[in-house]
Chains A and B, each alone.
Chain A
């Protein structure tokens, strides 16, 4: 395991700028998640570190060594691909042993066997070791893909949305397993995802990427509580933050154009708040309810206690409780 440092890296494909001026340090043993929407340049960032793409400018250092021009094989990285990328003509065992069988490595056969067995046990695929890679279910294939990376002890594990193609239940399970494995091994992981839950639950730090730029990086708590701009604020939080025009409220600081109100920033009452809104719809989720409100023609979504007994058509009052303020360009304004 080692520290990975990316310095002002840019990459364009033709006219499309995939990554611009990305700087990022992943500390030894750290789990960093890159969070962003589709096409934000997350995968490109990962491929640049792996050496599958060459940066147009900037440098990449792994364990203090400049690897910017090195081939993937010389970088000592492991990559988990989104589309599994298993070798279809090989068995699960052969797939996982493939990297250990590199002629330059000269790992004894017994060690390979032991290592693959160990990782297979970790991922609960021991019984599938002699199956063809193509005879597995999606979840099993993904485990093999992760296992293929885990048999190695690289400087860094690069994971490209490894759980995105799994169903919700399996995703939840593997999320826990992956975090446990990372803690056990003390592995350095750079993890790309568009799923905020994955980022929030697994990462020690989250980097939010938007249009090829790193918007903000910090602990999940920091990103959630202290977003630098409206983009970052909209990335985290369920339901999504409500971005409302400042004009709707009185007593807003100067220069504030937009008010970001998460569900915890809104106190719902039966009167006596800052503004009043109409209930459009209530979605009961069991332990809580999604409340869809109409605030002067603007939709507002927040959470409500199912016990509150609200229904469509009800008038409620809203009081802002230390919301986030953004200026005309979407940047944060101190309260």
Chain B
């Protein structure tokens, strides 16, 4: 039986490969012992068809139906429902009040509301600075780790630690670090600048708090960007550098004309992921500042949460949610087009 095994495998391969065309040749060429195995293999799909009465296509549908149903129920339906609600005066806490169709009223009032634009500006500040800082530092770290010095594996693990924590943990943890009297952050800044540690409040100051949330996000997610960049750098084969070396390219030129262009699709992917993620940022900022002081760190999703679950303006917040969705979807699409262009260069 054991000797028959390789033949059986070939038999299956032949069927998968090209059932019709090769079977005749195969039958003629196969030895007597393998012919038996071959016939057995030929029989199998037919049996399945007869017994269960299912075609491959039916079977495929059967397998993906649960996923599709789940997707429709928890993704597509809520999206459509939200779109509907965004045109009504529906309030989730007063379900008995008759729903009135308002048309695009909410959209008009949101897009002309200076508070919303302020929230969008806070979001933009947060997204742009976190992405810039995380990309620059993340790529820098990846570049250093890629040098494969002694203990680079251990350093990779250490650098990745923040990313593995829960945002809730990070939020609480940094609230303590930012404590003016006992916080480590203020102490370190005081140590290096010589100013008094309790003379500034990262989370309580209107000028500093937008930066406080940028710092925490950069601390937490730079490792993620590093990881993606590292994958990009590792994908550049050594022999390309050897060729450049023989072509008398300096290290500087190698970086600009080989390393950076070849790692660029990966860097752009990291930017995309972080951009989308931070556009939707809620948990960490909510824990750190709750949007304050005033509304200086009130990113769009905090505004949204307040409208939806504090003022209970469900229709209004649905409209805002749709606006945010369309914005991030549109921007991401344009960006992916650019990314594909870079990739196919």
Contacts and interface: CB of A to CB of B under 8 A. Distances in A.
Interface of A: 50-52, 71-73, 77-79, 81, 83, 85-89, 98-99, 102-105, 132, 148
Q: What is the size category of the interface that chain B forms with chain A?
A: 10 to 19
A50 B247 CA distance: 11
The 10 A-B pairs with the shortest beta carbon distances in the complex, nearest first, are A99-B247, A85-B243, A73-B248, A79-B246, A102-B248, A85-B239, A72-B245, A72-B246, A89-B261, A98-B247
Contacts of B258: 87
A104 B248 contact: yes
Interface string B236-255: 01011011111111100100
9 contacts: A52-B246, A72-B242, A72-B248, A81-B239, A88-B240, A89-B261, A89-B262, A99-B247, A105-B248
Interface in B260-317: 261-262
A73 B249 contact: yes
Contacts of B253: 102-103
A104 B257 CA distance: 16
Does more than half of chain A's interface fall in helix, strand or loop, or is it mixed?
A: loop
B345 interface: yes
Contact of B248 (A52, A85, A89, A99): A99
Q: Which of B243, B250, B261 has the most CB of A within 10 A?
A: B243
Interface in B189-242: 237, 239-240, 242
A89 B239 CA distance: 14
B249 to A, nearest CB: 6
A333 B157 CA distance: 64
Contacts of B247: 98-99, 102, 148
A87 B127 CA distance: 34
Interface string B112-156: 000000000000000000000000000000000000000000000
B257 to A, nearest CB: 8
A50 B237 CA distance: 18
A89 B265 CA distance: 11
Nearest to A75: B246
Given A85-B240, A102-B253, A52 B245 contact: yes
Contacts of B242: 52, 72, 79, 81, 85
Contacts of B248: 72-73, 99, 102, 104-105
Contacts of B245: 51-52, 71-73
Contacts of B246: 50-52, 72-73, 77-79, 99
A79 B262 contact: no
Contacts of A104: 248
Nearest to B258: A87
Q: Which of B237, B242, B244, B248 has the most CB of A within 10 A?
A: B248
A102 B261 CA distance: 18
Contacts of A73: 245-246, 248-250
A83 B240 CA distance: 10
B196 to A, nearest CB: 50
A102 B246 CA distance: 11
B134 to A, nearest CB: 24
Contacts of A87: 240, 243-244, 257-258
A136 to B, nearest CB: 15
Nearest to A154: B246
Nearest to A145: B243
A99 B247 CA distance: 5
Contacts of A83: 239
A71 B248 CA distance: 9
A225 B255 CA distance: 51
Given A72-B242, A99-B246, 8 more contacts: A52-B242, A78-B246, A79-B242, A79-B243, A98-B249, A102-B253, A103-B250, A148-B247
A108 B257 CA distance: 19
Nearest to B247: A99
Nearest to B241: A85
A157 B46 CA distance: 62
A86 B247 CA distance: 11
A73 B243 CA distance: 10
A73 B253 CA distance: 13
A79 B241 CA distance: 12
Nearest to B252: A103
A88 B343 CA distance: 11
B13 to A, nearest CB: 26
Contacts of B243: 79, 81, 85-87, 148
B324 to A, nearest CB: 36
